[in-house]
Amino acid sequence: MIDSFLLREPYRVTKAQIRFYQKYRFIKLKNVLSSGEIGYYNDVISASVDELNREKRPMNDRDTYSKAFIQITNLWRQDEQIKKLVFSPRLAQIAAQLMEVSSVRLYHDQALFKEAGGGYTPWHADQYYWPLESDRSITAWIPLQETTLKMGALEFSAGSHELIDGRGLPIGDDSERMVNEALRKGGFEHVIEPFDLGEVSFHAGWTYHRAAPNLTSETRKVMCTIYMEGNMRLKNPENEHQKLDWEVWCPGSTIGDVIKTHLNPILFERA
């Protein structure tokens, strides 16, 4: 067990960083977590993923989505130490400041482990899957090791939250091809950089992003926490994925009402 000091302490987000996020709807922030915290959570989250992972097929027998990563969700309900990371006031405060909202709730968490030799993650926007009434959502992407380009560091399309084309596409080969073409025509800049130890990125629900294959012999381990504005309301789902998310992540919520189930606690509220 580790005394996660930084998980509780405020992080200084500058006005320039908030402006950058508001313009491009992504940002990378250094030294959000310490090397000790990253090492500890690498071990703890890896153990949970190993225990809960049911994907046993060889890589060649999987589709594009399954090759991209092992995905294990709501780990905060499985382990009290992981809950401390997911419920971190420090991370939630950053999310609220970047979105310029007074409070944030948990939508859900997920571990994304891109195995050695794992395939590419196609261009996509997360909010295609989410039955959320507004765009005030944000994901903290927390690498559990230094992440090189060869491991499949996250790539962002700066300002692509303004792109409407592709919003009806689930992640897959079609989204990779069609979104890539729409981004090219729109002249959106692609930003891909390695992640230092302790560096965390934040991106909005409608920001298009992707990741290259993992060309190394190590698993690229990432933990994500997805936040939504504290007064987020449930919208009428527009596809089958949003219906499923409603059932899994917002059980008992009513269309048009604030999403405030036992799975969606407030994680930060400005005093």
**pLDDT interval class at 188 (50, 70, 90):** very high
Q: Token digits for 102?
A: 């007074």
- DSSP H stretches of helix in 158-217: 173-186
DSSP structural state of residue 127: G
**pLDDT interval class at 199 (50, 70, 90):** very high
pLDDT exceeds cutoff 90 at 8: no
pLDDT, tens digit, 9 for 90 and up, residues 96-125 = 999 999 999 999 999 999 999 999 999 999
CA distances in angstroms from 199 to 125, 132, 145, 154, listed in the order given: 22, 28, 9, 12
Write down the pLDDT at residue 5. Answer: 64
pLDDT exceeds cutoff 70 at 233: yes
Q: Token digits for 205?
A: 């629900």
Q: Which residues contact 102 (CB under 8 A, 6 or more apart)?
A: 96, 230, 269, 270
Using DSSP's 3-state secondary structure scheme, residue 153 falls into coil
**pLDDT interval class at 1 (50, 70, 90):** low
Percent of the chain with pLDDT strictly greater than 70: 98
Write down the pLDDT at residue 228. Answer: 98
pLDDT, tens digit, 9 for 90 and up, residues 38-97 = 999 999 999 999 999 999 899 999 999 999 999 999 999 999 999 999 999 999 999 999
pLDDT exceeds cutoff 80 at 3: no
Report the alpha-carbon distance of residue 21 to residue 147 in Å, rounded. 22
**Around Cβ 62, how many Cβ atoms within 10 Å?**
14
Q: Which residues contact 113 (CB under 8 A, 6 or more apart)?
A: 46, 49, 69, 70, 72, 219, 220, 221, 222
Write down the pLDDT at residue 7. Answer: 84
pLDDT, tens digit, 9 for 90 and up, residues 137-165 = 999 999 999 999 999 999 999 999 999 99
pTM: 0.96
Q: Quick one: CATH architecture of 5-269?
A: Sandwich (2.60)
Backbone angles phi, psi at 149, to 5 degrees: -65, -35
CA distances in angstroms from 22 to 18, 133, 134, 232, listed in the order given: 6, 19, 15, 19
Report the alpha-carbon distance of residue 153 to residue 213 in Å, rounded. 9
